[in-house]
Structure 1
């Protein structure tokens, strides 16, 4: 993966690309969850980089993409579009994990013509009807719970809650390590608070696949994914022996699901 940067007036956004020599190959964009970074997808990058062009990035306000002012998912979508323009990538398959599903859906909403398909990985949908008033209240105040933990306890609690394997736990601890407690809380507060402001009803004409860890107990992700699948008719596949960080807990099945989804894209009438 070659590290690059996109300079914006809000801050520098860092991304990594492995470009397949075949100019007609498909491009996969992996977008990580809150308080994480691009390395969350290292097991997917290793698997897919031989056959596809692969892009990962540190979402604004995360990883190396700090400082960053005026964080919104709309701005994230525009930044991603500029990255694709910079790399001369015409079409993408989006994979958004947890919070990463929000900039992915915002991008798909604004640049639908650029999207071949979307894989929603342990994330939740855009759509007003899915979230109750109480749901919105908790999303706005989720950082209050984090303040009750010490710095080390917060990191360990977050890593444990999203993982089922030692690899996922250790990876989450590694990604959290550079941040202070206040920075972690700030990321959570802004990420979820921004979602409540930008959430909207959307409709996608391209294929969508929902992947959900069998033991994903993060918030109401399980319930939201079930409701999303039922309302929109999107297939929902369960990742065995995996928690919220399912692509780390069971990368073999997640990679296989992504591969199969991509292989069938040409069969959809979009």
Structure 2
């Protein structure tokens, strides 16, 4: 993939692009960078233009002053400007899905469709906010790496742990360096994000839902309720996956994304 950069407030923002055809942006989540999508990029680049940003503060992108969900959406919009794209399909994983919903709110005219990959349009509950605040305290005391190493195993299903025990340590080892400031800023932004569930009943855009049946982060039942709301909804359940289906069941994830993209042609 070709690596490119844009500049936001004198900070370099990195993204990669490859392929030709209907453009699709894959937006990674918290504690990841764009490399989490390598399986999907290798598969989709045959028929689509794949664009994979590193969110500010992740991977090769420098941390900017605004990593709110709206700020990340603005970053994606600037990448589209740089690529001279009038519209794309935007699919976000976890926190990337939260930013996707902010993009739907701000820039619906730039979308052919959008998707939530193990994500939700709901705001944090008070209990979730408190959990994130405890996470911020842990990061401040113990550092970013220790926090990620502690939390990553909970993102994978028991099935994955039993059938592919090497995946979790391999993924953990591959993680880029994160600053404490970046992880704390992401958590603060997720705590502050608004609810966007109402967008599902308003949008005329097709919506993709990829749901992990064994996801410990996103409620299976809650996201199924959200998935029933859009007029055009594509619902895919990864039955063996927790929160990392692009790694746990890459073939099924690829097929779900491709089927959605084909429906838009």
| TM bracket, shorter-chain basis | 0.7 to 0.9
- Measured after TM superposition, the shift of residue 71 of structure 1 is 2.1
The correspondence of residues 118-267 of structure 1 with structure 2, limited to 5 A, is 118-125=114-121, 127=122, 131-144=124-137, 154-163=147-156, 164=160, 165-166=164-165, 168-179=167-178, 183=179, 185-201=180-196, 202-203=198-199, 204-218=203-217, 220-232=218-230, 234-266=233-265
Change (3 A) 1:133 1:161: closer
User: 1:94-125: per-residue Cα shift (whole Å, max 9, x none)?
Assistant: 11111111221111211101111112111121
Change (3 A) 1:188 1:153: closer
CA distance in 2 between partners of 1:152 and 1:192 (Å): 15
Q: Is contact 2:117–2:209 with CA below 8 Å preserved after alignment?
A: yes
Return the TM-score normalized by structure 1: 0.83
CA distance in 2 between partners of 1:193 and 1:227 (Å): 26
Q: What residue number does 1:11 align with?
A: 11
Q: Is contact 1:35–1:175 with CA below 8 Å preserved after alignment?
A: no
| Pairs aligned (count) | 254
Q: Is contact 1:34–1:187 with CA below 8 Å preserved after alignment?
A: no
Aligned Cα root-mean-square deviation (Å) = 2.5
Ranges in structure 2 where 5+ consecutive residues have no aligned partner: none
Ranges in structure 1 where 5+ consecutive residues have no aligned partner: none
Q: 2:83 aligns with which of 65, 82, 87?
A: 87
Say yes or no: does 1:70 pair with 2:63: no
